[in-house]
């Protein structure tokens, strides 16, 4: 993921790694593999939430953990990440951390639902 984020600083100007006629195999592959990173991050966030709940066993504790962690991620996206990308606090771009944080906040409400409603059946 870091390779793709820094790719713009090292690639030839105007090169689109998705344009197969003009790119090289390494540039294409670094861009292609990153398409799996964000979904895997979200999957791991959900898996860690399930493991946290299984370890603690307290629904209220799990919900407060998910809300606080989600809001921290959303705040981090709006402040540090945006400033790091744009060097301005006036620019707001909601990216992957915002999506993961928002999903954690929504998940804090979904953990109250029975596993059959969420589609997990006998997994939990």
Q: What band does 14 get if pLDDT is binned at 50, 70 and 90?
A: low
| pLDDT recorded at residue 121 | 53
pTM over 0.75? The answer is no
- Burial of residue 44 (number of CB atoms within 10 Å: 0-12, 13-18, 19+): exposed
**What's the confidence (pLDDT) of residue 4?**
66
pLDDT of residue 105: 94
Residue 74 is predicted with a pLDDT of 94
Phi and psi for 73 in degrees, rounded to 5?
-65, -40
Q: What is the mean pLDDT of residues 1-23?
A: 68
């Amino acid at each position: 993921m870091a390779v793709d984020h820094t790719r713009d600083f090292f690639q030839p100007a105007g090169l689109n790694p998705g344009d197969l006629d003009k790119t090289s195999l390494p540039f294409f592959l670094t861009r292609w593999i990153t398409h799996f990173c964000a979904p895997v991050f979200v999957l791991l966030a959900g898996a860690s939430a399930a493991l946290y709940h299984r370890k603690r066993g307290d629904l209220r504790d799990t919900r407060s953990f998910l809300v606080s962690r989600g809001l921290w991620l959303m705040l981090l996206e709006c402040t540090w990440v945006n400033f790091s990308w744009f060097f301005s606090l006036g620019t707001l771009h909601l990216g992957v951390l915002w999506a993961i944080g928002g999903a954690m906040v929504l998940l804090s409400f979904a953990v109250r639902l029975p596993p059959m409603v969420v589609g997990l059946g006998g997994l939990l």
